[in-house]
Amino acid sequence: MSELSGPGVAGPLAAHAEEFRAELTGLGYSPRTARDHGYVLAQLSRWVAAERISPDQLTEPVLARFTDLRRREGYRRWRSRRSLHLMVDYLRRAKVIPPDRQEPADRLEVLLGAYRRYLVTERGLAPSTVAARMGVARRFLEPHVTPGGIGLQALAAADVTGFLLGQAGLRGARAVKPMTSPLRCLLRFLFVAGLVGCDLAGAVPAAASPRLAPLPGAVDAATVIALLASCDRSRPVGQRDFAILTLLVRLGLRAGEVAALRLDDIDWRAGTVVIHGKGGRRDQLPLPPEAGEAVAFYLRHGRPVSACRAVFLRACGPAGPMSGHCVVMVSRSASRRAGLPVVGAHRLRHTAATEMLRHGATLPQVAEVLRHHSEDTTAIYAKVDRAALGLVVRPWPGAQR
């Protein structure tokens, strides 16, 4: 019999299984989710008993052994330490297992922590951007870790180009371009912090940019109609999703901007909405009647009673505001319901820009609605404005012959 299999709840953690399930239910998780988490706690309890260890020995390395065993035995869920955080947090609060006393593993973690604070406080970057830049920083710095610390004083331009060439070999040439800007940011930080002797940001080569090669990935009117029709507006979740999709396709909002909307941001009398954009930017935009009606319908009929000031709330799990990732999943779920290929939230942003141009808006007006920092970013949409392009097209030399 497997080390993880066994009947019922047994072992030294058995007394906490029911209370753990009750806590999850109280936080807003569904009974099924709470029951599934309880099964994992019961499995951990049986494993502890089989291994003849006590709960106060459940340190991080021991928990890693438990998840490793689940992976080896073919389990598809709760296979990582991160997936156990609800259970581990509960057991630590109940003082059943020891607290996490692990200090940063080495100087690398200390340095990455300082870099993260720099990105958040000095640069004011969004959480998703910070996460992406931290990933590149870790991959670049890890090879320079030695038993004596992090050897960066001898860092040279060849190390920078060598890193990118190595990443191109591992991930493909197309994966290198998104790394160049985060790598420059890291190298500037290392120079300002006095960890390298010179600013090596200029050593990062410029990747080829086919920015104006492809057309923006907009979707047609039939696809938009199908996405909106897939929302069951007789149910609160459908009302919420319909309002979110309408904002995405009519105002071209980013997923994070939809998640950041607060009740106080909407001026119903003036018909305007304040958008919290990148880098702490705040912009006031007109609220299209169609979008306003969809949001108002959700607020009146579908939104749960809550002290939270976020416009859009989670429909399952702990009560609270939706995250940007949750908003992204709204369009993906609607695509699946409508039987369409996946339509991401950013494609609906492209759709909004394209529709504005087709209805006579100028590129500066589109840039204002999309809140681009530079009109150069909006220039890509010039290719879909065929009427304007027709005014400047010239006949091909010799075509009359």
* Structural domains for the chain: 14-93 (1.10.150), 107-203 (1.10.150), 221-350 (1.10.443.10)
Catalytic residue (choose from 79, 276, 278, 337): 278
Q: Is 350 a catalytic residue?
A: no
The reported pLDDT for the residue numbered 261 is 95
Taking Cα atoms as reference points, which of 111, 124, 93, 121 lies closest to residue 152? 111
Element (H, E) at 46: helix 31-51
Give the whole-number percent of the chain exceeding pLDDT 70.
85
Catalytic residue (choose from 70, 233, 250, 349): 349
Q: Is 346 a catalytic residue?
A: yes
What are residue 146's DSSP bridge partners?
149
The total number of residues written for the chain in this structure: 401
The reported pLDDT for the residue numbered 74 is 83
Tokens of 376: 């150069």
Taking Cα atoms as reference points, which of 152, 145, 204, 156 lies closest to residue 180? 204
Q: Is 65 a catalytic residue?
A: no
Q: Is 381 a catalytic residue?
A: yes
Catalytic residue (choose from 21, 233, 254, 350): 254
The reported pLDDT for the residue numbered 6 is 46
Tokens of 212: 């104006």
Q: Is 138 a catalytic residue?
A: no
Query: Whole-angstrom distance between the N-terminal and C-terminal Cα of the chain?
Result: 85
The reported pLDDT for the residue numbered 393 is 52
- Residue 15 has φ and ψ, to the nearest 5°, of -70, -15
- Low-confidence residues of the chain: pLDDT under 50: 1-7, 102-104, 212, 389, 391-392
Q: Is 75 a catalytic residue?
A: no
Tokens of 366: 């589109």
Element (H, E) at 276: strand 272-276
Catalytic residue (choose from 79, 81, 116, 372): 372
Element (H, E) at 65: helix 60-72
The reported pLDDT for the residue numbered 218 is 77
Taking Cα atoms as reference points, which of 92, 21, 23 lies closest to residue 63? 92
* Angle at the Cα of 337 from the Cα atoms of 334 and 343, rounded to 5 degrees: 40
